[in-house]
Structure 1
Amino acid sequence: MLAVLAIAVKDLRLALRDRTAAFFIFIFPVFVALFFGVIFSGGGGRGAGKVPIAVVNESKGPRASALVADLRSDDALDATEIPSRAEGEQGVRRGRFTALVIVPDSFDASVLSLFAGGGLTIELVTDPSRRAEAGLLEGKLNELAFRQLGSLFRDSSAVSQMTSLGKAAIVAAPMSDEERSALSTVFGGLDRYSTALDAASTKKRTDAGADTGANADAFEWRPIRVKVSTVLDERKRPRSSYEISFGQGVVWGLMSCVTGFGASLAEERARGTLLRLRTAPIRRRQVLLGKALAAFLACMIVQSMLIGLGQLPMFDVTISSWPLAMLAVIVTGIGFCGLMMLLAGLARTEGGAQGLGRAAVLVLAMIGGGTIPLFFMPPLLQTISGISPFTWATRLIDGYTWRAFSLAEMASALAVLLAVGVIGFAVGTIFMRWQED
């Protein structure tokens, strides 16, 4: 056992003496976690998750101004009012805005002509590469336009104007007497509604102590109300963007451990260092266990360092269960220790090990949550990412942080990483034996 520890300590010292290797194993993952944390927090100045749009109000009427105000106050949009259409189109072309919303000068008049065959017209200029956001904006504009129609029915003068225009339209429109009579009945009812609304408004203004402002907004016509809820409760959602980027930093740290120690082991085998160690009074198994222990300890150090960093108040990374976190850290170290042994066994030379690290391991890290968080990936890529050990490590990290998994919920990821560790160590050892023989 002392021989195994001596070899592990020697490898860790060599890794620390190589400043470049030490930087990418222990320091670079911290920068990755900080970088993605700032990106996901909306550190560029816009609200996180909001769609940036430009708004041009050509009408300047009360209805158009109310629509623009609703756009600017909407939680899903980051609306900026600009003076001209040309400026907005230029902003969309340059990527500053996702889309341009134009409220034409005929907007207020078109609202009043609703019963005369008219309708609300709003122009939307979009970036062709942002089709998903364009669909969201079209639905949002329909919602806010319906809200303006609701406000119309609280304005007796607006209802009276719409009714008058509607009556004039049915006189000139080609239709049967029955249809004209039915529409006349509808408009007659709207006339009575307008008169009653005007009388009620007058009474409220004259009643002593009446709260006119509150009563004016007491009725809001919204034909569809969507009640939104989430699957996760407040305890099981990210409290900060760093709870998401934390896992990405760990992924890059584990990748550096695998590639660094895998290349080191391949280099020692190619240069005869392992052969010289075999002449010492220690077994081959002890040599390989010492190498694996060094990689395991490095993986543990990287994870522990990022966990400690996440506990600082500025990052606010919550550990839901410390015992489960410790278990996940140990099992993750075992899994990637086995992956390192497999990498070293498959590569005959240092260059081959580095090539595998740059190709296979980098791709596995990218699809395993190193660049895009797993829940941001499209369904097909999420399915494919199951082949990556980094995916299961990321699920464990999310599990003992913001998702607050139980042991049963973490069991599958723990089992996969244990299997990767055991199988990787066994296969890597067999390949190294064949190559030496």
Structure 2
Amino acid sequence: MRAGLAIAGVELRRFLRDRSNIFFVFIFPLLLVLVIGSQFGGGGGNGRVAISGSDSALRSAVTSVLRDDGVTVTVTSADVVRELLARGRSDVGVFISPDAATAFDAGDDVVLETVTSSGQGTPAVLQRVRTAVGGLATTKGQVAALVGAGVGEPEASAALAAVSASVTRPSLDVVDIDRIAQEFSGLGTFDLGAAGETLLFVFLASLAGSSTLIQTRRLGVMARTLAAPVSTRQAIAGQALGRLTIAVFQGAYIMLATAVLFRVNWGNLWLSLLLLATFSAVAAGAAMLIGSLIDNDGAAGGIGVGLGLVLAALGGCMLPLELFPSTLRTIAHLTPHAWAYDAFAKIQRHHADLVDILPQLGVLAAMAAVLLVVGTWTLRRSVARAI
């Protein structure tokens, strides 16, 4: 067991020392999470509004009302507001001029300039802004009317606040009957992309790394290992454990990085890690099979990358499975990615427990067992084959 762990540690160090992995392992996955999250991710609350303008009662009031309504508000300069809108990081930009702030203080009509982005939920956010400003104007007019009737302004404001608090406001529940909208409801902006890209890069890194198995045989590393007090079974187990360690490392890094940088919610962490380990075993078995059947490391790397991308695309890692036609979705479940995707969906969106994802785990465990057994057998045979 100690020999196997030592070999696995060597494989992980070789993987990390490859300078090309600095980009493809640590940076590229996060960039794809960002891109896919911006395309398919959830809207994030009740929208995002950026407000510019000097400090005034109007700016403070609008900001307070919108935040109470669940809107994410950013107060910044006019140039930054335009940049946020251009980059799609804000739905509506509100520009408060000095004239508007003065008019609000005087109780006159207020005119605000708004600029919208091209996001799908922008009209709803704009309506929230209009409702907030309209409500402030109404309240201001009510206070002015009471003051004109001889009531002091503090007393008028307090009375209106008390009346507003005592009134039972009407509620409106909107139920979206669209299946896809229901499936994606409650998802964070990057939750969907993070799960898919984790599966993509775990499998891709494993299959691309299958070339190291060929290099191990070609450079005589395997022969020197067997010359030590290490049995063939221990050496092969170490190689299998090395592939598994690399896959788990890649997946765990993406999960940790997305949780910290993008606040991705992975649901039950222990279930997510169990799913990651099971899927990584499938990837490790596939890498062993490719690395032992092919004697050219360049060809093995190319086949691994191509096969990894095709399986990921078919398995829902680039386009959500929910958007697939029913026939294609059935075909997608020939891949381990689709089963792992379904399990992650249950964990992240539906707070699933172990029983809920047992079917997916069972299928992945069966795939892993078959691939690891076949991969071990072919690797044992390849050890004696000259390259």
Query: Please, what TM-score do these two structures have when normalized by structure 2?
Result: 0.61
Matched, 1:429 2:376: yes
Matched AA of 1:264: T
Ranked by relative contact order (alpha carbons within 8 Å, sequence separation 6 or more), the top structure is 2
| Amino acid of the structure 2 residue aligned with 1:242 | F
The Cα of 1:13 is off from its aligned counterpart by: 1.1
Per the TM alignment, residue 229 of structure 1 is displaced from its structure 2 partner at its CA by: 3.4
User: Does the aligned pair in 2 maintain the 1:336–1:420 contact within 8 Å?
Assistant: no
Q: Which moved more, 1:262-271 or 1:38-47?
A: 38-47
Shift of 1:367: 1.0
What RMSD in Å do the two structures reach over aligned CA positions? 3.2
Label 1:419 to 1:26 Cα distance change in 2 as closer, same or farther (>3 A): farther
Matches within 5 A, 1:24-423: 24-41=24-41, 45=88, 228-229=176-177, 237-312=185-260, 315-423=262-370
8 Å CA contact retained: 2:188, 2:265: no
1:274-303 CA distance string (max 9 Å, x none): 223222210112112212222222222222
- Give distance in 2, aligned partners of 1:233 and 1:29: 26
Q: CA deviation at 1:35?
A: 2.0
Q: Taking structure 1 as reference, are residues 47 and 373 closer, same or farther at Cα in structure 2, changes over 3 Å only?
A: farther
Q: CA deviation at 1:265?
A: 0.7
- Residue 10 (structure 2) aligns with: 10
Q: What amino acid does structure 2 have at the position aligned with 1:31? A: L
The amino acid that maps onto 1:326 is L
1:317 is paired with a residue whose SS is coil
State the 1:410 CA deviation. 1.0
5+ unaligned residues in a row in structure 2: which ranges? 44-85, 92-115, 124-173
Per-residue deviation, 1:235: 10
- The superposition leaves residues 96-125 of structure 1 with CA deviations (integer Å, 9 ceiling, x where unpaired) of xxxxxxxxxxxxxxxxxxxxxxxxxxxxxx
- Give TM-score, length-normalised by structure 1: 0.54
Structure 1 345/419 Cα, relative in aligned 2: closer, same or farther at 3 Å?
farther
Please say if residues 331 and 414 of structure 1, whose CA atoms lie closer than 8 Å, have aligned partners that are also in contact.
yes
Between stretches 271-280 and 240-249, larger displacement belongs to: 271-280
Counterpart in 2 of 1:97? none
Whether the aligned pair in 2 keeps the contact of 1:258 and 1:337 (CA below 8 Å) is yes
Quote the offset at 1:44 in angstroms. Answer: 5.7
**Does the CA-based 8 Å contact 2:9-2:242 persist in structure 1?**
yes
CA contact (8 A) 1:264 1:350 kept: yes
Q: CA deviation at 1:16?
A: 1.2
Cα distance change, pair 227–5 in 1 and its aligned pair in 2 (3 A): closer
Residue 8 of structure 1 deviates from its aligned partner by 1.0
Distance 1:356 1:301 in 2: 22
Match of 1:282, SS state, is: coil
CA distance in 1, matches of 2:222, 2:346: 39
Any idea what the Cα deviations from partners look like across 1:9-49, whole Å, max 9, x if unmatched? 1111111111103432333222221221123358864999x
SS at match of 1:409: coil
Inter-partner Cα distance in structure 2 for 1:323 and 1:357:
29
User: Is contact 2:199–2:337 with CA below 8 Å preserved after alignment?
Assistant: yes
The alpha carbon displacement at 1:254 in A equals 0.8
Q: 2:250 & 2:349 partners in 1: Cα distance?
A: 20
Answer whether contact 1:247 1:397 (CA < 8 A) is retained: yes
Contiguous gaps of at least 5 residues in structure 1: 49-71, 80-225
In structure 2, what is the Cα distance between the partners aligned to 1:265 and 1:325? 29
Q: How many residues align?
A: 265
